[in-house]
Amino acid sequence: MMLIIDHNLKQAEFTLFDAGNGKPSAAAKRQAPMDSALEPGFLDPLIRDMASAGPLDSACVRLRFGGDLFNGPARVDKAFLETYAGLTPHFPFYIPLTHAFLKRLLASLNHVPLHAFFETALFCGLPEQEKIYAVPREYNEKLGLRRFGYHGLFHGYHADRLDVDGTVLSVVLDKQTTVCAIENGKPSYISVGYTPLEGVMGRTSCGDLDPGVAFYLLRERRESFYGIDNLLKKKSGFRGLTGFDLEIGDLYRHAGDEPKVKRAFNIYFNQVLRHMGAALAVSGPLSGLVFGGRFVSDLEPVAYRLAKKLTFLGVSLKALPWEKGDSGFDEVSDPGSRVRVALNRETLPEVLCESALEAVKTGKIIL
């Protein structure tokens, strides 16, 4: 059995899979508050209970940030923890909490191998011209400013699963949508950068913004630094444009009868499309297009409209509604389409499980 672990600052989620077929087991899921998960011994009965469905062969944890230090999956041990702690200046709220959580996991797993998979690892391979910001060189070199990217687990999985020569355009529809181009296995573009503010607008984040806006607010509105940070991260995006504090999938259901919601999704659509175009501009000929992520089913009509914009590149689509297959990864392009188009409805734990099984099989785990 394989245990897949995800967490944020508030909660940890555990999903058990049968390592033989990559399917969730009958004792599939548990959740725990992070403050409880960090207490000594709290995780022991939870993991024992999940392992009652079958002996644990391995555990895999999704980590949001690995900087330049981790360009692939890694075995979590004492040496790993020492290296990982060095990332704290980049992510001072997340890294110390995650470091403590990993130590608790190691103790509770009792010698079951624990492997870390990073959302940023794929983008260690970005070309320099896509990675570096046009700020004074010492800021890039000494402070490590660069485009780190995000959703690498989904984007890499999409390219591997489609398995075509040339460029795969991957769009992950999440709280913040990301657009990535992968050319023959290597990333050539990612829409999000050093922080989640860059790229497509999110549920509460502004997305691409003239940096001068922040300086204007500092000067003219006398906003504090922390006030602007909170405004752009927590009060902008869909929430700021509509006034509704809803998940994106739920909000989309109001796009037909609420003008400000329709307007917000029109802005969102253009931003995603613009990043798709930018990704194609710096990549080779398009061979595949994949939509995935938390809201992919809710935003299926949006994915259809985005894909239709690429008909001039040879995209030909099946009509909506798109059928849902057993695997969760469904090709939605016509058989004669020059570009293969797919919809990935698999959840993050499913994607991570399949990626982990492939990494173990091919020896891509960094020991």
Residue 365 confidence (pLDDT): 61
363, pLDDT greater than 70: no
The torsion region of residue 36 among left (phi > 0), alpha (psi -120 to 50) and beta comes to alpha
Residue 252 confidence (pLDDT): 97
Residue 236 confidence (pLDDT): 96
Question: HSE-up of 329 (CA within 13 Å, CB side)?
Answer: 16
Q: What percent of the chain has pLDDT over 70?
A: 98
19, pLDDT greater than 80: no
| Residue range 176-188, pLDDT digits in tens | 999 999 999 999 9
| Residue range 74-127, pLDDT digits in tens | 999 999 999 999 999 888 989 999 999 999 999 999 889 999 999 999 999 999
In angstroms, rounded to a whole number, what is the distance separating the alpha carbons of residues 304 and 134? 35
300, pLDDT greater than 60: yes
Q: For residue 26, what pLDDT band results from cuts at 50, 70 and 90?
A: low
CATH 3.30.420.40 residue spans of the chain: 2-118, 163-348
User: Which among 9, 123, 138 has a CA at the least distance from the CA of 72?
Assistant: 123
The mean pLDDT of 340-354, rounded to a whole number, is 94
62 in Cβ contact with 36 (< 8 Å): no
The mean pLDDT of 344-356, rounded to a whole number, is 93
| Residue range 147-167, pLDDT digits in tens | 999 999 999 999 999 989 999
Residue 367 confidence (pLDDT): 45
Tokens of 20: 């033989």
**Higher per-residue pLDDT: 47 or 20:** 47
The mean pLDDT of 265-291, rounded to a whole number, is 97
Q: For residue 27, what pLDDT band results from cuts at 50, 70 and 90?
A: low
290, pLDDT greater than 80: yes
At the fourth CATH level, which superfamily is domain 2-118?
Answer: ATPase, nucleotide binding domain (3.30.420.40)
Residue 22 confidence (pLDDT): 72
364, pLDDT greater than 70: no
| Residue range 191-209, pLDDT digits in tens | 999 988 999 999 999 999 9
**CATH 1.10.357.10 matches 163-348:** no
Q: Which of 40-44, 260-264, 323-327 has the lowest mean pLDDT?
A: 323-327
Residue 25 confidence (pLDDT): 72
User: Which among 329, 308, 328 has a CA at the least distance from the CA of 317?
Assistant: 308
The total of other beta-carbon atoms located within 10 Å of residue 244's CB is 15
